[in-house]
Structure 1
Amino acid sequence: MNTAAAEPVSHSLKGARRWVVKVGSSLVTDGGKGLDATAIATWSEQIAALIEGGAEVVMVSSGAIAEGVKRLGWRKRPTGIPELQAAAAVGQMGLVHMYESQLKERGLASAQILLTHADMADRERYLNARATLLTLLRMRVVPVVNENDTVVTDEIKVGDNDTLGALVANLIEADAYVILTDQPGLYTADPRKNPDAQFVHEAQAGRPELEAMAGGAGSSVGTGGMLTKILAARRAAGSGTSTVIAWGREPDVLPRLARGEAIGTHLYAATAKHAARKQWMANHLQLRGRITVDDGAVRQLVSGGKSLLPIGVTQVVGEFQRGDVIAVCAPGGQEIARGLVNYASAECRLIARKPSSQIAALLGHAQEPELIHRDNLTVVGGG
């Protein structure tokens, strides 16, 4: 672990292509005084620079409830769910319009994405959200993500946008997760109380001592403190995403991070992104069914790293839904791969041995041309 007196930082975000950037309420709303147009313009400018350099960026922005509280004339943030939902509904209008106008000035289109924990837990909704986000990124559109506070309940509430950002990083397999906050990063102790506290430049995400260092919430505007950021970094690392916690007012913080500069606290993932996702699918215990493929499909999957198309499927066994993890077997029955399926078992039986161009005619809709996309498929066993 690198502190102020240790060796220089050895990890960086240089070369990161897919970014999730989370901005906290205290920054977006200027400490709760209402949306800060200048700050949002600054981050929009930096996002434009990243995209111009070939990056893909998802913005996770707090601020809807804080802006709603201001617009409704309330003196403080409420605690009741119905009041929070009302504030979010009012504030979301201004927040989205602000990002849309600022990004548009820089030649970028934007999109609003509202998510709940249920969207991540349900495999079909997970796939739908993932497909939407990845499509927007391919179109050079900036998704602006927030928790769907207008309909959320205690049971499905993500709870803070630090966690939501980590879930989005998992969802799209981001290379980098940047949490912009009103603190410069993590210290070994609360520097406001302990003058001997040292700044942590770098550490492996998920180390237990990091949680001990993190204090409580430092602002009355948002819901997250440093602890939620440390826990979010651990969650992001599960899919191989490294996290940086940095001061949101740092000049050109995003382009400088992209150039490899050491800013804030870098919590790096111990497992590479590709390996982390493959390991998750390979170890998945709840296989819902299996399909058998022909020899040509086996070669394409094992040697070519291709997606599985319906034309290569010869048999469908079991009952499963879109988004379930299923096994892919060779003609002899040996499992060669597993992955997240794009169609339910009944639909798979209808389109098996058929070219992808016929999916829409056979089913009346076409979710994807692939039965299992290569990004959602891992070779296992002897493959």
Structure 2
Amino acid sequence: MPQTIVVKIGTSSLTRDGQLALSSLAALVETLTRLRSRGNRVILVSSGAVGVGCARLNLLERPQHIALKQAVAAVGQGRLMRVYDDLFSSLRQPIAQVLLTRRDLIERSSYLNAKNTFQELLRLGVVPIVNENDTVAVEELQLNFGDNDTLSALVASLIEADWLFLLTDVDRLYSDDPRRNPDAQPISLVNADQLAQLQVQTGTSGSQWGTGGMATKLTAARIATNAGVRVAIAQGKIPENIEKILKGKLIGTQFEPQPRPENARKRWIAHGLVAMGKLYLDSGAVRAICHQGKSLLAAGITQVEGEFQTSDATILCDFQGREIARGIVNYSSAEIQKIQGQRSERIPLILGYAGADTVVHRDNLAILKR
């Protein structure tokens, strides 16, 4: 049965010594084209623009300053897409370039526009090639994705994919970095409960030219599986393994999905919005939200972290700091700090005006499975 498949390829798998690894790229393109020819809907999330730009400009290391990074990405993106277009065209497979920023997924209308564009491209038999729009994303405003692992998970959630493949320079998830610890144990299958508890000592950084590491892949796996997407981490230099995994072989590390959320708006709140802060809740508020379908009241908030405004998205945590939900707030962080722990009828007295009875209404709240 045809499936919707998102494949993310990392910089470490695309390049060798700062140059494009054309043989690896060709193998990936052949695999994705075969998947398309069998009726599957395929999206490729590709890193590499900054790395390729560095090579073209003879830079010896990845830029750290935002303006330089954006300029280098602009140089590399054209070259990267030219190579993809040549390879896919040789197999008569049409492609499209899709550049996204987090802003495209923050606003509901933009989110729906992006989803409709993907659906039309897939209906036309096109393979969309997605990357963060590095030339306009601004880190200081927290509007960037941070890494393409997160971007791929959000795209997989957006289009309600069946599979997300994270192709990297290691063959699977290990209990430690196998390049440093020969005793690191391989992990083949992870269910939802195990993923929630998984703490793997893998480090947070990627290669010299990439931004992701195994920690970002675990974050991506949590985002995607919460949206009902099955995730696999596999060796990027052997893209043919994607087809074997789809046939049922246990290659790499696979993450079992949660039941797919039925409410599209809740899925957008949970996985499409960038969280600008955190609210820590007492046990009564956690129970009311998770088990009784209630809204979040000021009385249940014990701590506010970060600065945010009314209608921003925030992470809701239990008293141990574990994320339980995400929601759109009715008050700013400064206002919530004044009313936290207080009963709703006291809010007008404290703030000097009559606002909402709830800090996060249940209609604007998405529970994350744990």
TM-score, normalised to structure 2's length?
0.69
Q: Which residue of 2 aligns with 1:359?
A: none
Q: Which residue of 1 aligns with 2:20?
A: 35
Q: Which residue of 2 aligns with 1:236?
A: 224
Residue 95, structure 1, aligned to residue 80, structure 2? yes
User: Deviation digits for residues 22-79 of structure 1, max 9, x if unmatched?
Assistant: 00001112242x2222211111100011111111100000000000011111111110
Unaligned 5+ segments in structure 2 are: 271-370
* Residue identity in the other structure for 2:16: D
Counterpart selection for 1:173 from 132, 152, 160? 160
Secondary structure at the counterpart of residue 212 of structure 1: coil
Counterpart selection for 1:151 from 126, 132, 136? 136
Q: Whose radius of gyration is greater, 1 or 2?
A: 1
Q: Is the 8 A contact 1:35 1:67 kept in 2?
A: yes
Distance in 2 (CA, whole Å) between partners of 1:203 and 1:117 is 28
Distance in 1 (CA, whole Å) between partners of 2:98 and 2:233 is 23
Distance in 1 (CA, whole Å) between partners of 2:197 and 2:267 is 30
- Per-residue deviation at 1:16? 6.4
Distance in 1 (CA, whole Å) between partners of 2:203 and 2:197 is 12
Is the deviation greater in 23-32 or in 236-245?
Answer: 23-32
Q: Is the 8 A contact 1:162 1:179 kept in 2?
A: yes
- Which structure 2 residues correspond to residues 13-162 of structure 1 after superposition, within 5 A? 17-32=3-18, 34-154=19-139, 155=141, 156-162=143-149
Distance in 2 (CA, whole Å) between partners of 1:68 and 1:283 is 33
Distance in 2 (CA, whole Å) between partners of 1:90 and 1:148 is 12
1:269–1:16 Cα change, 3 Å: farther
Q: Which residue of 1 aligns with 2:299?
A: none
- Per-residue deviation at 1:268? 1.4
Q: Which residue of 1 aligns with 2:249?
A: 261
- Per-residue deviation at 1:238? 2.0
Q: Is the 8 A contact 2:225 2:257 kept in 1?
A: yes
Distance in 2 (CA, whole Å) between partners of 1:266 and 1:227 is 15
Counterpart selection for 1:216 from 173, 184, 204? 204
Distance in 1 (CA, whole Å) between partners of 2:157 and 2:97 is 19
Secondary structure at the counterpart of residue 16 of structure 2: coil
1:282–1:251 Cα change, 3 Å: closer
Q: Which residue of 2 aligns with 1:353?
A: none
Which of structure 1's runs of 4+ aligned residues deviate more than 6 A? 282-285
Secondary structure at the counterpart of residue 152 of structure 2: helix
Distance in 2 (CA, whole Å) between partners of 1:51 and 1:251 is 14
* Residue identity in the other structure for 1:199: P
Q: Is the 8 A contact 1:115 1:147 kept in 2?
A: yes
1:283–1:117 Cα change, 3 Å: closer
Q: Which residue of 2 aligns with 1:187?
A: 174
- Which structure 2 residues correspond to residues 362-373 of structure 1 after superposition, within 5 A? none
Distance in 1 (CA, whole Å) between partners of 2:96 and 2:178 is 39
Q: Which residue of 1 aligns with 2:282?
A: none
Q: How big is the alpha-carbon RMSD for the aligned residues of Structure 1 and Structure 2?
A: 2.0
Distance in 2 (CA, whole Å) between partners of 1:189 and 1:47 is 31
1:194–1:282 Cα change, 3 Å: closer
Distance in 2 (CA, whole Å) between partners of 1:215 and 1:226 is 7
* Residue identity in the other structure for 1:198: Q
Secondary structure at the counterpart of residue 45 of structure 2: strand
The count of corresponding residues between Structure 1 and Structure 2 is 267
- Which structure 2 residues correspond to residues 180-329 of structure 1 after superposition, within 5 A? 180-205=167-192, 207-250=195-238, 252-271=240-259, 273=260, 276-278=261-263, 281=266
Unaligned 5+ segments in structure 1 are: 1-14, 286-383
- Per-residue deviation at 1:279? 7.8
- Per-residue deviation at 1:211? 3.3
Distance in 2 (CA, whole Å) between partners of 1:92 and 1:52 is 27
Distance in 2 (CA, whole Å) between partners of 1:231 and 1:103 is 30
Q: Is the 8 A contact 1:211 1:230 kept in 2?
A: no
